[in-house]
Chains A and B, each alone.
Chain A
Amino acid sequence: MKILTTVKKVVDVELNIHIENGAIVEDGLQYVINAWDENAVEAAVVLKENNGAQTTLVSIGGEDNTDMIRKCYAMGIENAILIDEPSLAGADSFVYARVLQKVYETGDYDLVIAGKQAQDTDNGQTGIILSKYLDLPCVSNVISMEVMDETHIKVSRLGDGGIEIVELALPAVVTVSDSINEPRLPAMRGIMMAKKKKIEIMDLAKLGTSLDEVGGAKSQIVEFMKSKTRQGGQKFEGDAAEITTRVVDLLANEAKVFI
């Protein structure tokens, strides 16, 4: 089984992000591997260990994506492709999915594992659009995965009201939830072995396509705004009966929690 895992480098949203004039201030930003993609990498490595799957990772971005790729190597991924194409700056999910489609078509892959969303944009679209472009079945929000035979896998997906068990014919696309596994920390030896591994760097031309073919972005971020910060709470002191009356009044008339 050949697995293609998609990995995105994202801004570390746990750090403070500053916005000026509708744009994110790049200074001082730190980047990390998208958390859900780390789950996708772990899922792929588990299939390699338990079922002898071959694992390839693809990432779109510049040379600074290589640190993240080496971490994935250290976790156990065997091959990596970096699509280094500056003209893709400003691309949206449709464009990324089209590029990933081209990558998929260069190999003889049986399964695409993607994170269900990225923590920077929270769009959750790329994996699903990719399955549409490839005309492959897709299961999203996957929380467990097992190989049935050479051509079928069984996955569980978390739905609104419960868990769905889905048997899936390969090739297929799955997007995974962060509850599918706990990504391993790379072992020391893995880190050293990762140093020696080559990353296949490609641009659109090498991929046999062009910016015209993958198309322009269908959507564009026009402005970033800070979300409202949580207001501080109110503290009440004094007589218990008076406080109770006051709190009930506020809950009823200001917060309007009693309907």
Chain B
Amino acid sequence: MDFDLTKEQEMIRKEVRKFAQKEIAPIASELDEKEEFSETLTRKMGEIGLFGIFVSEQYEGQAMDYISYIIAVEEIARIDGSQAATIAAGNSLGIGPIYYFGTREQKEKYLPKLCSGEGLWGFGLTEPTAGSDAGGSKTTAVLDANEWVINGSKIFITNAACDLSMGVTVQAITGTRDNGKPEYSCILVESDTPGFKAIPMHKKMMWRASNTAELYFDDVRVPKSNILGKKGDGFHQMLSTLDGGRLSIGAMGLGGAQGAYDLALQYAKERQQFNQPISKFQAIAFKLADSAMEIECARNLLYKACWLKNNKRPYEKEAAMGKLYCSEVMGRVTNHAVQIHGGYGLMKEYNVERFYRDQKLLDIGEGTSEIQRLVISRYIGC
């Protein structure tokens, strides 16, 4: 058994960490406070190659493995969940479906810009009335001669309503299957298509510096060739995209937990009460010890899931476990971290408060914790 990272993976960790500390750390709080998505910062992340990480060089991707991708997301999340969300959604949900299911023409048209960070792409799945019950979605696409006519709406779509947004992949009902259930297909819609509207969502509790959108499709017409893969493959494409996406959400939990733990450990060593650093009190030290242990377990589980994917082995169960466990570890660690900071932990001047808020999305987005438990329970034969 070899637990060593490759030289390249180690270099990626080191360089992305440097980038996050230099470029993101100084402005993370301010962007969060102002609820501002930074186009400049997104472009900078593109310049160092944080988009298209697992895409081949043919489409101007970075041609890296999944562990490298997850390390990059982890290191960004260690400093700021919002920027990690832009990266994770950009790669797994924006670029992923086009790369894995698109035609050569679609890939050549969109991927180079998406891989350079010049453009972002959304993944339109969740609807106002269809969250965990993805089968309950109502958006439709009807073929009219050589065009799809799309009607409906989507909600909570990352990267879809900023100046960099180039379009979205929308999952829509395109017919009825033999068993009477709806047939789903994924269709590519460019942002400037008439009838398509993307509106940024505000007043978020977390990920306040990431871009979240509501999408409206009002008789949106796109060429028939904009379908992703085959007609009727939409549900399978969505499930497969979410399997990969779970790894990056896991990485956000892992990185966020590490970031909050680092802050708490440093604070506990500096904060004096009763004439000694509070890290010397077992009540505090044990919280930190538990956090360190859980982060270690989370990292091993998540990296193993990535290793399975790298080696083209089934990884879906471990991906669900990784997403669930890393998210919940971050929940416990950020809770400890705020507690260790005492009153200061409740103040925005101390970053730990932001980590505490950012964590909550991880229990809900890209498959709630309840759905992850459902997925795992099915894999173990319940």
CB of A61 within 8 Å of the partner chain:
no
Q: Are A188 and B12 CB-contacts (below 8 A) given A67-B7, A70-B7?
A: yes
Q: When the two chains form the complex, which single residue of B11, B57, B63 contacts A71, counting CB atoms closer than 8 Å?
A: B11
CB of A186 within 8 Å of the partner chain:
yes
Main secondary structure of the interface of B (DSSP, over half): helix
Binary B-proximity of A178-199 (CB < 8 A = 1, otherwise 0): 0000000111111110110000
Q: What is the CB-to-nearest-CB distance from A204 to chain B, in angstroms, rounded to a whole number? A: 27
Give the contacts of A159-195 with B (CB-CB under 8 A). Answer: 185-192, 194-195
Q: Which residues from chain B contact A185 at a C-beta distance below 8 Å? A: 15, 18-19, 22, 48
Q: Which residues from chain A contact B22 at a C-beta distance below 8 Å? A: 185
Binary A-proximity of B6-20 (CB < 8 A = 1, otherwise 0): 011001100100110
A192 touches B19 (CB 8 A): no
B11 touches A186 (CB 8 A): yes
A188 touches B47 (CB 8 A): no
Binary A-proximity of B29-72 (CB < 8 A = 1, otherwise 0): 00000000000000000011110010001000111100010001
Most chain A CB inside 10 Å of its own CB: which residue of B11, B47, B64: B11
B47 touches A192 (CB 8 A): no
Q: When the two chains form the complex, which single residue of A67, A70, A187 contacts B47, counting CB atoms closer than 8 Å?
A: A187
* A74–B10 alpha-carbon span in the complex (Å): 13
* A40–B49 alpha-carbon span in the complex (Å): 23
B7 touches A188 (CB 8 A): no
* A186–B72 alpha-carbon span in the complex (Å): 13
* A6–B298 alpha-carbon span in the complex (Å): 42
Q: When the two chains form the complex, which single residue of A70, A71, A187, A194 contacts B48, counting CB atoms closer than 8 Å?
A: A187
Q: Are A188 and B19 CB-contacts (below 8 A) given A67-B7, A67-B11, A70-B11?
A: no
Closest residue of chain B to A186 (Cβ to Cβ) is B15
Give the contacts of A62-89 with B (CB-CB under 8 A). Answer: 67, 70-71, 74
Give the contacts of A42-61 with B (CB-CB under 8 A). Answer: none
Q: Which residues from chain A contact B64 at a C-beta distance below 8 Å? A: 188, 192
A189 touches B57 (CB 8 A): yes
Most chain B CB inside 10 Å of its own CB: which residue of A188, A189, A192, A194: A188
Q: Which residues from chain B contact A194 at a C-beta distance below 8 Å? A: 8
A74 touches B11 (CB 8 A): yes
Closest residue of chain A to B63 (Cβ to Cβ) is A192
Q: What is the CB-to-nearest-CB distance from B251 to chain A, in angstroms, rounded to a whole number? A: 15
Q: Which residues from chain B contact A67 at a C-beta distance below 8 Å? A: 7, 11
Q: What is the CB-to-nearest-CB distance from A188 to chain B, in angstroms, rounded to a whole number? A: 3
Most chain A CB inside 10 Å of its own CB: which residue of B8, B22, B57: B8
Give the contacts of B60-93 with A (CB-CB under 8 A). Answer: 61-64, 68, 72
Give the contacts of A178-236 with B (CB-CB under 8 A). Answer: 185-192, 194-195
A189 touches B63 (CB 8 A): yes
A191 touches B19 (CB 8 A): no
Q: Which residues from chain A contact B61 at a C-beta distance below 8 Å? A: 189
Q: Are A188 and B18 CB-contacts (below 8 A) given A67-B7, A70-B7?
A: no
* A234–B35 alpha-carbon span in the complex (Å): 45
Q: Which residues from chain A contact B72 at a C-beta distance below 8 Å? A: 188
Closest residue of chain B to A184 (Cβ to Cβ) is B48
Q: Which residues from chain B contact A195 at a C-beta distance below 8 Å? A: 7-8
A189 touches B49 (CB 8 A): yes
Q: What is the CB-to-nearest-CB distance from A1 to chain B, in angstroms, rounded to a whole number? A: 26
* A74–B12 alpha-carbon span in the complex (Å): 11
* A194–B15 alpha-carbon span in the complex (Å): 14
Closest residue of chain B to A67 (Cβ to Cβ) is B7
B50 touches A188 (CB 8 A): yes
Q: Which residues from chain A contact B49 at a C-beta distance below 8 Å? A: 187-190
Most chain B CB inside 10 Å of its own CB: which residue of A74, A191, A195: A191
* A191–B53 alpha-carbon span in the complex (Å): 12
Binary A-proximity of B224-265 (CB < 8 A = 1, otherwise 0): 000000000000000000000000000000000000000000
* A188–B47 alpha-carbon span in the complex (Å): 9
B47 touches A191 (CB 8 A): no
Q: Which residues from chain A contact B8 at a C-beta distance below 8 Å? A: 191-192, 194-195
Binary A-proximity of B186-220 (CB < 8 A = 1, otherwise 0): 00000000000000000000000000000000000
Q: Which residues from chain B contact A186 at a C-beta distance below 8 Å? A: 11, 15, 48
* A189–B48 alpha-carbon span in the complex (Å): 8
* A195–B64 alpha-carbon span in the complex (Å): 11
Q: What is the CB-to-nearest-CB distance from A75 to chain B, in angstroms, rounded to a whole number? A: 10
Give the contacts of B289-343 with A (CB-CB under 8 A). Answer: none
* A191–B49 alpha-carbon span in the complex (Å): 10
Q: What is the CB-to-nearest-CB distance from B79 to chain A, in angstroms, rounded to a whole number? A: 14
* A71–B48 alpha-carbon span in the complex (Å): 14
Q: Which residues from chain A contact B19 at a C-beta distance below 8 Å? A: 185
Known: A188-B50, A188-B68. 12 other contacts (CB 8 A): A67-B7, A185-B15, A185-B19, A187-B49, A188-B49, A188-B53, A189-B62, A191-B8, A191-B15, A192-B64, A194-B8, A195-B8
A-B contact pairs, 12 of them (CB 8 A): A71-B11, A185-B15, A185-B18, A186-B15, A186-B48, A187-B47, A187-B48, A188-B49, A188-B53, A190-B49, A191-B8, A191-B12
A-to-B contact residues, CB < 8 Å: 67, 70-71, 74, 185-192, 194-195
